[in-house]
């Protein structure tokens, strides 16, 4: 009860409410769009666009001399969008590869942004412009009007995703095929990228330009590990984004001078790590277990067949044999394998250390050999 009260009190705090809501919206929106970015193999596109928003923020401030977040974020959006168009132009019209184009766009725009931010900070009128929060993010400075704006944008994004679900799906999976059916793929390319720009702009104040792409890529990459359905992946990605976003933002706003972006990234990396290792089927742990089991099956099968060969030397198939010759071939794994065989009741060891098949083992060995021969003949007849 006490804990619940503490939590309830905690959420009555106005700043916490704002930070919580803002980062929740951001996490969900970025998680959803990140799914498409990751599946399009455009994970770095978000990074380039995010970095490219910085000059827009600075120019908007220099031109209007206001700190109005709407104006600054509009500048950010325009400059991010221009960067994404440049990127498309470079990739489609020059021989430069995508990664080179991304590198160029990211560094040129970000460099320009850093230059402008230095100019801004030297202006006497702008001593407290606070534009540097756009670099690493500061959730604690979010205002109610910021959160309202973020909600409006993210509702727009959700509506678009619902309406154009199948269009985006086919665009990501097989763009040429979509075009062959008359779908305006260039329009949808730009449209999807525009949505990604919007999601990035939503996150700029909270996460900052440097780490914003993590909000897009990390939840989606983690979500991909757990499912093979696009819809489920989108949901999980939004969930992971929401949890990391809120935890990170609240932690950073409770500790002074802790930038929000890096804190969120710490939480995100926990999701990514756990997903990479423990997810069923795609996880590393699963891989290790599978290859261990495969190896064991191969070893026991081979050994059983070797024993079958031995048993055919004598009229009594259960006559014990010395297997030291096999040890030379199978190295250390032989002892373990033999133990496994006797555990399964397929082979038994006599007091003189010699081994023989059991009746059950003989059946199994014959069955395996037959199956193997059928597979081989199946291949050759196909």
State which residue, 233 or 365, has the beta carbon closest to other proteins. 233
- The DSSP secondary structure of 176-205, one letter per residue, reads HHHHHTT--HHHHHHHHHHHHHHHHHHHHH
**224 near other proteins, judged by CB under 8 A:** yes
Least separation in angstroms between residue 378's CB and other proteins is 11
State which residue, 132 or 287, has the beta carbon closest to other proteins. 287
Least separation in angstroms between residue 101's CB and other proteins is 15
Q: Which of 244, 243, 247, 267 is nearest to 255 (CA)?
A: 247
**233 near other proteins, judged by CB under 8 A:** yes
State which residue, 112 or 230, has the beta carbon closest to other proteins. 230
Residues in contact with other proteins, shown as a per-residue x/- string from 52 to 91 under the rule CB under 8 A: ----------------------------------------
State which residue, 229 or 343, has the beta carbon closest to other proteins. 229
State which residue, 147 or 233, has the beta carbon closest to other proteins. 233
Q: What is the largest CA-CA distance in the chain?
A: 103
**182 near other proteins, judged by CB under 8 A:** yes
Query: Hey, how many other C-beta atoms are within 10 angstroms of the C-beta on 240?
Result: 27
Q: Residue 303 in contact with residue 330, Cβ under 8 Å?
A: yes
For residue 142, CA distances in Å to 108, 129, 149 come to 29, 15, 11
- The DSSP secondary structure of 263-283, one letter per residue, reads HHHHHHHHHHHHHHHHSTTTS
**229 near other proteins, judged by CB under 8 A:** yes
**98 near other proteins, judged by CB under 8 A:** no
**170 near other proteins, judged by CB under 8 A:** yes
State which residue, 95 or 128, has the beta carbon closest to other proteins. 95
**375 near other proteins, judged by CB under 8 A:** no
In whole angstroms, give the CA distance from residue 347 to residue 305.
11
State which residue, 176 or 352, has the beta carbon closest to other proteins. 176
Q: Residue 217 in contact with residue 34, Cβ under 8 Å?
A: yes
In whole angstroms, give the CA distance from residue 184 to residue 366.
61
In whole angstroms, give the CA distance from residue 26 to residue 321.
70
Structure tokens at 188: 């949808």
**377 near other proteins, judged by CB under 8 A:** no
Least separation in angstroms between residue 100's CB and other proteins is 16
**156 near other proteins, judged by CB under 8 A:** no
State which residue, 209 or 233, has the beta carbon closest to other proteins. 233
**378 near other proteins, judged by CB under 8 A:** no
**160 near other proteins, judged by CB under 8 A:** no
Residues touching other proteins: how many (CB under 8 A)? 29
Q: Which of 272, 236, 234 is nearest to 36 (CA)?
A: 234
**273 near other proteins, judged by CB under 8 A:** no
Q: Which stretch binds other proteins (CB under 8 A): 7-15, 178-186, 265-273, 357-365?
A: 178-186
For residue 364, CA distances in Å to 51, 90, 347, 349, 360 come to 63, 63, 11, 17, 6
State which residue, 86 or 164, has the beta carbon closest to other proteins. 164
Helix, strand, coil % over all residues of the chain, rounded to 5: 80, 0, 20
**183 near other proteins, judged by CB under 8 A:** yes
Q: Is 352 exposed, middle or buried (CB count within 10 Å of its CB: 0-12, 13-18, 19+)?
A: exposed
State which residue, 168 or 355, has the beta carbon closest to other proteins. 168
Site for other proteins in 281-300 (CB under 8 A): none
**195 near other proteins, judged by CB under 8 A:** no
Q: Residue 271 in contact with residue 217, Cβ under 8 Å?
A: no
Member of 42, 227, 244, 300 binding other proteins (CB under 8 A): 227
Q: Which stretch binds other proteins (CB under 8 A): 55-63, 120-128, 180-188, 326-334?
A: 180-188
**172 near other proteins, judged by CB under 8 A:** yes
In whole angstroms, give the CA distance from residue 73 to residue 182.
35
Binding site residues, other proteins, CB under 8 A: 39, 41, 95, 163-167, 169-170, 172-174, 176-183, 224, 227-230, 232-233, 382
């Amino acid at each position: 009860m006490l804990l619940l009260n503490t939590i309830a009190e905690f959420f009555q705090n106005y700043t916490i409410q704002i930070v919580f809501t803002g980062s929740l919206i951001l996490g969900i929106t970025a998680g959803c769009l990140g799914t498409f970015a990751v599946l399009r193999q455009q994970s770095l596109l978000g990074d380039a666009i995010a970095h490219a928003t910085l000059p827009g923020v600075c120019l908007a401030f220099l031109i209007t001399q206001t700190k109005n977040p709407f104006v600054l974020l509009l500048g950010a959006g325009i400059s991010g969008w221009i960067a994404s168009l440049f990127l498309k132009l470079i990739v489609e019209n020059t021989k430069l590869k995508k990664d080179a184009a991304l590198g160029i766009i990211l560094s040129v725009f970000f460099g320009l942004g850093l230059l402008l931010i230095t100019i801004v900070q030297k202006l006497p009128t702008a001593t407290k412009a606070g534009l540097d929060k756009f670099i690493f993010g500061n959730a604690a400075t979010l205002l109610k009007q910021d959160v309202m704006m973020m909600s409006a944008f993210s509702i727009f994004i959700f509506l678009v995703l619902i309406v154009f679900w199948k269009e985006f799906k086919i665009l990501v999976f097989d763009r040429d095929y979509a075009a062959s059916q008359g779908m305006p793929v260039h329009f949808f390319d730009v449209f999807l990228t525009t949505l990604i720009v919007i999601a990035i702009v939503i996150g700029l104040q909270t996460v900052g330009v440097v780490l914003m792409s993590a909000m897009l890529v990390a939840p989606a990459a983690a979500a991909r590990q757990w499912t093979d359905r696009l819809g489920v992946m989108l949901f999980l990605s939004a969930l992971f984004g929401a949890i990391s976003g809120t935890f990170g933002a609240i932690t950073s706003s409770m500790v002074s001078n802790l930038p929000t972006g890096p804190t969120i990234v710490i939480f995100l990396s926990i999701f990514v790590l756990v997903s990479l290792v423990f997810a069923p089927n795609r996880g590393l742990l699963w891989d290790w277990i599978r290859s261990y089991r495969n190896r064991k099956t191969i070893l026991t099968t081979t050994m059983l067949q070797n024993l079958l060969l031995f048993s055919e030397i004598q009229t009594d198939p259960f006559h014990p044999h010395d297997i030291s010759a096999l040890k030379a071939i199978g190295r250390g794994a032989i002892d373990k394998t033999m133990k496994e065989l006797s555990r399964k009741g397929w082979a038994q060891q006599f007091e003189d250390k010699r081994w023989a098949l059991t009746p059950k083992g003989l059946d199994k060995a014959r069955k395996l050999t037959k199956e193997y021969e059928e597979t081989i003949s199946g291949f050759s007849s196909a």
